[in-house]
Structure 1
Amino acid sequence: MGSILRPLSGRCCCATSIVKTHGPCASTGRLSRPWVFDIDQENATVYETSSGLNLLRQLDLKSRGFELEGNASLDNGWGFIASYSYNDVEITKLTSETVGNTLNSSPYHMFSLWADYEVQSGALEGLGVGAGVRYVGSSFGDNVHTPVLNNQARTFVDASVRYDLGAVNPSFEGVRLQLNATNLLNEVEQLYTTGFCYFDEGRKVVASMRYRF
């Protein structure tokens, strides 16, 4: 018979600030200064499979890092969003061989950049396109940091195209057609996390029609 898991508890020390920016061509802009955090968790729950059994174990963690995000919408139809995060998740209580190690499947670095453009006038007015990249840094595949199980860094490309029918005919005001694609280049890598293997989600394309009234 197993025992009842102890409740999760934690402590968080965080700080952030936001700076609004204005320029000759910027209609709106925001730069979020680093959101700095220091989080302690007690009795977090993870799966442990090293013994050949799929067991739940509890451990203590310390997560320290920061996040930075900025966006801008320009008068000429361009818009940009960028973000970066650094996260160091350290095991502070589990086993003697894992204390002080980084938690498995927890990359230190993640980054994303998105650019968007919408045609402002002419025959293509109402057409919008966007593209961006997402970067996920390398991570350890298990809590003892077995080299052969390490997960490699990965980069994904996303894109979208949309058309506002109201720009063509006022009677279609509020109707938008949109096509979104994630992992456009179909980059699929195997991920390992303490006894489990996964694959990145492959290319995904979703078409939609929206009516706003």
Structure 2
Amino acid sequence: MTTNQEGIYGEDQMTWGHLHVQGGVRHDWSTIDTRDQTDSGGSFNQSDQATTWRGGILYAFPIGLSPYFHYAESFQPANNLSFNGTPFKPTRGRQFEVGLKYQPHGFNGFFTAALYDLKQSNVLVTDPVHIDFYTQTGGIRSRGIELEAHVDLTRNLNIIAAYTYQDVAYTRGSGDLTGERPIAVPKQTFSVWGHYDLRNGPLRGLGFGAGVRYNGNTLVDNTLEYVTPSYVLVDAQAQYSLDAVAPRMKGMLFQVTAQNLLNQRYYPGCAGADTGCYIGANRNVIGKVTYSW
């Protein structure tokens, strides 16, 4: 199989006082050449091209509030054949987003809130009649809200928190799936991370952090009968900067990161009710040494 995608794009960013405007256009050419060596009819050639647009506008008020609007389009070729041996059309998407950014003057923090509406057409789903193949539905619609906060509570302590609620469903033209939630898509996700640096005393240069990630339940397959349970994972990190005790070693950093610290068993996704679900990664601890100059 050979896949080739080329594109050209242009973008301009303009500012007039507190008003910021961005606009861009992109054109893509895609070719897919697949050869089935078993002569079972799986070989095909496909060529597609598309022009997509993006643009946004933001106004930065002096008090730190910045409302904005953004629009974007997408183009993704599909390297698959239907049961009848027909290549699929590329998946197309378009997204509208409106939001508010806030950077207060009284303390070091940054907050964002966004509402979005995303629609995709020509989406691939498992063929309900021929399980090992795909079919192309009418589309998927995703609407939701995203909230994010970055706050320095003290000179030493930083907190990052994010929350997403999304209402995702198949649109009209998707047959029996119309109005249903796609597989492997949670309705809610949440994460919070805190990091503390010791800047004084004998442990100066030491820093450590901890965080929690929540992922809501997801559908196992398009039968809509089974769901994976939601899960919560705990992560942690510790680091030490050598320049705190040896100025000549400035830029040298030791770091240890642990993901899924409590070794929680969870299921991030499934291949289907008949074939089973994937078990998430066990506790993962990584140590590294970096030097920057």
TM-score (norm 1): 0.90
SS in 2 for 1:188: coil
Q: Give a deviation string over 1:112-170, Cα, whole Å, max 9, x none.
A: 00011000101000000000000001121122311xx2111100000000000011100
Structure 1 spans left out of the alignment, 5+ residues: none
Q: Given that residues 183 and 203 in structure 1 are in contact (C-alpha distance below 8 angstroms), is that contact kept between their aligned partners in structure 2?
A: yes
Letter in 2 for 1:194: G
Q: Give a deviation string over 1:51-82, Cα, whole Å, max 9, x none.
A: 46321222210011011100112443000000
Q: Given that residues 127 and 135 in structure 2 are in contact (C-alpha distance below 8 angstroms), is that contact kept between their aligned partners in structure 1?
A: no
Letter in 2 for 1:171: R
- Measured in 1, the distance between the counterparts of 2:265 and 2:216 equals 15
Shifted more, 134-143 versus 186-195: the winner is 186-195
Q: Given that residues 36 and 65 in structure 1 are in contact (C-alpha distance below 8 angstroms), is that contact kept between their aligned partners in structure 2?
A: yes
Which structure 2 residues correspond to residues 44-193 of structure 1 after superposition, within 5 A?
44-46=123-125, 48=126, 50-51=128-129, 53-59=131-137, 60-93=139-172, 95-146=174-225, 149-190=226-267, 191-193=269-271
- Measured in 2, the distance between the counterparts of 1:50 and 1:4 equals 18
Shifted more, 178-187 versus 7-16: the winner is 7-16
Q: How far off is 1:93 after superposition?
A: 4.7
- Percent identity over the alignment? 32
Match of 2:25 in 1: none
- Measured in 1, the distance between the counterparts of 2:218 and 2:155 equals 40
Q: Give a deviation string over 1:92-113, Cα, whole Å, max 9, x none.
A: 1565321110111111000000
Letter in 2 for 1:207: G
Letter in 2 for 1:198: Y
Q: Number of residues paired by the alignment?
A: 206
Letter in 2 for 1:91: Y
- Measured in 2, the distance between the counterparts of 1:144 and 1:78 equals 47
Q: How far off is 1:9 after superposition?
A: 1.4
- Measured in 1, the distance between the counterparts of 2:266 and 2:172 equals 31
Match of 2:289 in 1: 209
- Measured in 1, the distance between the counterparts of 2:122 and 2:244 equals 55
Letter in 1 for 2:93: G
In the alignment, structure 1 residue 7 sits paired with structure 2 residue 90 = yes
SS in 2 for 1:201: coil
Letter in 2 for 1:203: R
Q: Given that residues 107 and 139 in structure 1 are in contact (C-alpha distance below 8 angstroms), is that contact kept between their aligned partners in structure 2?
A: yes
Letter in 2 for 1:107: P
Q: How far off is 1:17 after superposition?
A: 1.9
Q: Given that residues 163 and 191 in structure 2 are in contact (C-alpha distance below 8 angstroms), is that contact kept between their aligned partners in structure 1?
A: yes
Structure 2 spans left out of the alignment, 5+ residues: 1-40, 42-84
- Measured in 2, the distance between the counterparts of 1:91 and 1:165 equals 54
SS in 1 for 2:87: coil
- Measured in 2, the distance between the counterparts of 1:64 and 1:75 equals 35
Q: CA RMSD in A?
A: 1.7
Match of 2:280 in 1: 200
Q: How far off is 1:21 after superposition?
A: 2.1
Higher relative contact order (CA 8 A, sep 6+): 1
Shifted more, 72-81 versus 116-125: the winner is 72-81
TM-score (norm 2): 0.66
SS in 2 for 1:97: helix
Shifted more, 78-87 versus 92-101: the winner is 92-101
Q: How far off is 1:35 after superposition?
A: 1.2
